[in-house]
């Protein structure tokens, strides 16, 4: 197909907001402050394709200081699907992101089941299956080892996050844990950080992510703190389904799966502390 009439270009903040509004219409349930945080993470990380000056598709190609890349928010307007525009956009995004990264840096993404064969053809391989779980928040007594975020916790959270993820994402993390439409809980033992969780308001209900913890006991306490914060509201969490202790924990609280995708990587898979990951951060930015 001839794409000479298609313009591929960086998005403005307003166009990123429009793209996230498309995600809302697709049922992706974005967080209420996602656009602002995504933009502050990497304002050069959002591109779209334009036909006759109209954006018909777009997506993220975010660089974390050149050390790791993330591809998400991949959407083409429904009326323009099936004509090859999505393929064109996806490969342009992949190649543009590779050019923004250090040589050998990996790219991560979360792919829905029907698109996984396409992503595999583009060089991505599956690391693990993701599953989104849902339940209604309810009242729990808060563990004495749980506290709300304080400024003194921020640097410790950044280092803990690095251990879990294998790369630094400080530009993203600080506004994420401080967002006005959410709450960050930390779990400490003998004054030492052993886990943290973020819960934020979304278009529908609230979403937990990340939920990182050294052990199941800490993860359970953090999960209950989030459920308590969201009493009588829908609560969603995306998990690495390959971790049986995570599935067992959610089933203990009668959460049920509603959506499946997979974490995929281009290049060498990063070394994650997967045993500490009880809830993924964001399917859009990793």
pLDDT at residue 5, as a whole number: 87
Q: Over the stretch 46-63, which tens digit does the pLDDT of each residue have?
A: 999 999 999 999 999 999
pLDDT of residue 151: 96
Percent of the residues in the chain that have a pLDDT greater than 70, as a whole number: 99
> For 220-276, how does the pLDDT look when each residue is reduced to its tens digit (9 = 90+)?
999 999 999 999 999 999 999 999 999 999 999 999 999 999 999 999 999 999 999
> Which 3-state string (H, E, C) describes the chain?
CCCCCEEEEECCHHHHHHHHHHHHHCCCCCECCHHHHHHHHCCCCEEEEEECCEEEEEEEEEEECCCEEEEEEEEECHHHCCCCHHHHHHHHHHHHHHHHCCCCCEEEEEEEHHHHHHHHHCCEEEEEEEEEEEEEECCCCCCCCEEECCHHHHHHHHHHHHHHHCCCCHHHHHHHHCCCCEEEEEEEECCEEEEEEEEEEECCCEEEEEEEECCHHHHHHHHHHHHHHCECCEEEEEEECCCHHHHHHHHHCCCEEEEEEEEEEECCCCCCCHHHEEECCCCCCC
Report the topology of domain 6-108.
Aminopeptidase (3.40.630)
> 107 versus 83: which is more confidently predicted?
107
* 132-279 topology per CATH: Aminopeptidase (3.40.630)
Checking if the pLDDT of 4 tops 90, the result is no
Mean pLDDT computed over 20-41: 96
Structural domain spans, the chain: 6-108, 132-279
Residues 160-218 have pLDDT tens digits of 999 999 999 999 999 999 999 999 999 999 999 999 999 999 999 999 999 999 999 99
Q: Does 132-279 match 6-108 at the fold level? A: yes
């Amino acid at each position: 197909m001839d794409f000479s009439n298609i313009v591929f270009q960086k998005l403005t903040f307003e166009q990123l907001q429009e793209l996230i509004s498309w995600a809302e219409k697709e049922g992706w349930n974005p967080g209420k402050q996602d656009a602002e945080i995504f933009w502050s993470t990497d304002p050069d990380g959002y591109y779209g394709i334009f036909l006759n000056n109209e954006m018909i598709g777009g997506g993220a190609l975010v660089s974390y200081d050149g050390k790791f890349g993330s591809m998400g928010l991949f959407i083409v307007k429904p009326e323009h699907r099936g004509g090859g525009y999505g393929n064109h956009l996806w490969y342009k995004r992949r190649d543009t992101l590779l050019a923004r990264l250090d040589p050998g840096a990996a790219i991560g993404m979360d792919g829905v089941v029907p698109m996984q064969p396409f992503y595999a053809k583009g060089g991505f391989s599956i690391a693990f299956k993701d599953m989104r779980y849902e339940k209604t928040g309810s009242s729990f007594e808060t563990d004495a080892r749980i506290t709300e975020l304080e400024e003194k916790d921020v640097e410790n959270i950044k280092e803990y996050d690095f251990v879990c993820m294998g790369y630094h994402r400080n530009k993203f993390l600080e506004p994420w844990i401080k967002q006005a439409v959410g709450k960050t809980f930390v779990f400490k033992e003998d004054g030492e950080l052993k886990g943290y969780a973020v819960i934020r308001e979304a278009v529908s209900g609230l979403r937990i992510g990340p939920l990182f913890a050294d052990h199941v006991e800490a993860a359970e306490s953090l999960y209950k703190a989030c459920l308590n914060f969201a009493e009588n509201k829908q609560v969603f969490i995306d998990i690495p389904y390959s971790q049986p202790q995570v599935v067992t924990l959610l089933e203990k609280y009668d959460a049920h799966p509603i959506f499946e995708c997979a974490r995929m990587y281009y290049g060498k898979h990063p070394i994650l502390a997967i045993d500490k990951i009880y809830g993924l951060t964001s399917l859009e930015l990793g």
